[in-house]
Amino acid sequence: MTAPATRRVARPAVPVVRVGPLAWRVLGVVGLLLAWEALARLNAGSYVLAGPVAVAIHGVEHAGLLGRALRATLVNAAWGFLWGNLAAIGLAAVILLVPRLERLLVALALLVFCLPLVATGPILRVAYGPGDGPQIVLAALAVYYTTLLALLVGLRAVPRSWLDLVESYGRGAGAQLLHVRAMAALPYLAAGLQIAAPAAILGAMVGEFTGAERGLGVLTIRATRALDVDATWTIALLAAGMAMAAYWAFGALLRRVASDPPALLLAPPGPALRRGRRRGAAGAAVMILVALALWQGGMDALGLNSYFAKRPGDVLTFLVTGPEAASHRATLLAAYAETLAYTLPGYLAGLALGAGLACAITLAPGLAAVAMPVAVALRSVPIVTTAPLLVLALGRGSVGTITIVAVMIFFPTLVACLQGLRQAPGDVIDIFASYATGRWRTLVLARVPAMLPAFFAAARMGVPAAILAVTTAEWLATGRGIGSLMALTASTSDYNMLWSAITLVALTAALAHTLVARIERAVLRVYGPEQLAR
């Protein structure tokens, strides 16, 4: 008989107030609310924090307005979610049936994912007019890439013998997809949808920022401009709550589909490792050409007005060959430098803090029980919904922007690194334990190497996330950098500058992503060669 079990049986002679886990949770929530209210009261008049009472009052007073806005946002998010995921499924099917296209299609998908929503939003607004189109398109753009990556991992996470089985009956790739891969990928699809659900809400809200008629995004803009702290907090909490609810709902679906949900790293490090540098460069050149051709051809095919839908040639004239190209470049690069100065520290701080806290939690496992649920919950909250709060709290200077970027990166990194740290093989940990190796050395020698693949996956996915965070913050709040430049040029119809900025940002994101992937490969070649095998 083990000790805890005996103790539990032996004790009831003494009457003890039994506090169950549910009661603890309730107490925790009540305590948190009290602390929040107290903090709000202490800071009253500083226009930073609205307490739970104020939020509740605002919520009740404006229930009708908030309800209508919420419904509008959710409907658009749902449509975007549907279209984005259908696009991802279609792309994944094409890649599976024509594997040669994989590198090109995944790279293009990444490039499109890296387009700053802040700029594509206003352009879509011009193209669509005042309707719901931009919100839906942006929601779709925000979800399709992660779902595509999840599907690509899932469709391949199939034992060789299952595929051999189908092949041994003389059946081809189609039958493998139908009988084996589609079902095997379901848990991965569900995991991808879970990540996509909050992202769709985020995309819809950014779409609403661009001048929609209703929705939570519209209310956010209004409240931020009016410095209405109660409204800002209420809307942010409502949006965050919706995102969390969507995340949990799809989590429940995931648990129904898979008894053992896959630990989804997203962004597999890709094949093509044995290629020489020259072929890599050739591949990149082909990709850029295809992207330019799609840009030009797509706009021509859709017959988009060249007043707002600038072609590659327009951007070239504007930035390089035109009469005032030098001054255009100067304006653009100044804003760009400012943005980089916010983004890099935030990005690196987010990564370092996420990985660091994950390690700390592993050293003191008691911490995990507290930190993990909070981290998982907060990871699901799209940062855009909380950006106005951070700006309220930290001001419109560099600290606020850097913090927003760092927070955006921090939570996914923390969750991924905790998953990674747990991947350390039990046997190895046991061997370390059998030599009475200290926790610190075990962490450094066994767990951190096991964490690296997850860390780098987070670092790569963090690139577009950081750009989204910084441009949104600059646009909504700080009025500096390239995000603000894009907002300004969108409102003054300076579409040449806008498209130049989009090109620069997308290229930067793709390059940064490639750079991180390079570092990742160099590191994983030493610490995790099995991750590169596929």
Partner 1 sequence: MAPDGPPSATGRAVSCTDLVKVFDASGDPVQAVGPLDATFAAGHTTALVGPSGCGKSSLLRMIAGLERPSAGTIRIGAETPRDLTRRAALAMAFQDAALLPWRSVRSNVALGLSLARQPPDAARIERLIGLVGLAGFNDRRPAELSGGMRQRAAIARCLVSAPELLLLDEPFGAVDELTRRRLNRDLPALWQGTTAILVTHSVVEAAMLADRVLVLSPRPATIMAEIDIPLPRPRDEDDAALRDRIAAIAAALRDSGPDRVLAAQ
Q: Please state, in angstroms and rounded to a whole number, the distance separating the CA atoms of residues 375 and 409.
A: 12
CA torsion angle for 169, 175, 181, 186 (degrees, to 10)? -130
User: Is 161 or 327 the residue whose CB approaches partner 1 more closely?
Assistant: 161
CB of 348 to partner 1, least distance (A): 37
Q: What angle (nearest 5°) sits at the alpha carbon of residue 70, between those of residues 64 and 72?
A: 105
Restricted to residues 180-209, the positions that interact with partner 1 (CB under 8 A) are 180, 183
User: Is 165 or 340 the residue whose CB approaches partner 1 more closely?
Assistant: 165
CB atoms within 10 A of CB 212: 25
Sign, CA dihedral 322-323-328-330, equals positive
CB of 170 to partner 1, least distance (A): 4
User: Is 167 or 300 the residue whose CB approaches partner 1 more closely?
Assistant: 167
With b meaning 16 or more CB within 10 Å and e meaning fewer, what string describes 415-453?
Answer: bbbbbbbbbbeeeeeeebeeeeeeeeebbeebbbbbbbb
The answer to whether the beta carbons of residues 163 and 176 sit under 8 Å apart is: yes
Site string for partner 1, 164-183 (x = CB under 8 A): xxxxxxxx---x---xx--x
Q: Return the structure tokens found at 295.
A: 């840009």
CB of 164 to partner 1, least distance (A): 6
> How many chain residues are in contact with partner 1, going by CB under 8 A?
15
User: Is 167 or 324 the residue whose CB approaches partner 1 more closely?
Assistant: 167
Q: In this chain, which of 159, 280, 373, 479 binds partner 1, going by CB under 8 A?
A: 159
| SS3 at position 478 | helix
| SS3 at position 55 | helix
CB of 165 to partner 1, least distance (A): 5
CB of 181 to partner 1, least distance (A): 11
The reply on whether position 157 binds partner 1 by CB under 8 A is no
The reply on whether position 256 binds partner 1 by CB under 8 A is no
The reply on whether position 533 binds partner 1 by CB under 8 A is no
CB of 183 to partner 1, least distance (A): 5
Q: Please state, in angstroms and rounded to a whole number, the distance separating the CA atoms of residues 309 and 348.
A: 35
The reply on whether position 272 binds partner 1 by CB under 8 A is no
CB atoms within 10 A of CB 42: 11
CB of 274 to partner 1, least distance (A): 9
CB atoms within 10 A of CB 360: 13
User: Residue 424's closest CA among 442, 405, 412, 408?
Assistant: 442
User: Is 180 or 349 the residue whose CB approaches partner 1 more closely?
Assistant: 180
User: Is 57 or 258 the residue whose CB approaches partner 1 more closely?
Assistant: 258
Amino acid at 292: L
User: Is 175 or 394 the residue whose CB approaches partner 1 more closely?
Assistant: 175
User: Is 25 or 534 the residue whose CB approaches partner 1 more closely?
Assistant: 534
Which one of 24-32, 156-164, 276-284, 422-430 is the stretch in contact with partner 1 (CB under 8 A)? 156-164
CB of 256 to partner 1, least distance (A): 13
List residues binding partner 1 (CB under 8 A): 159, 161-162, 164-171, 175, 179-180, 183
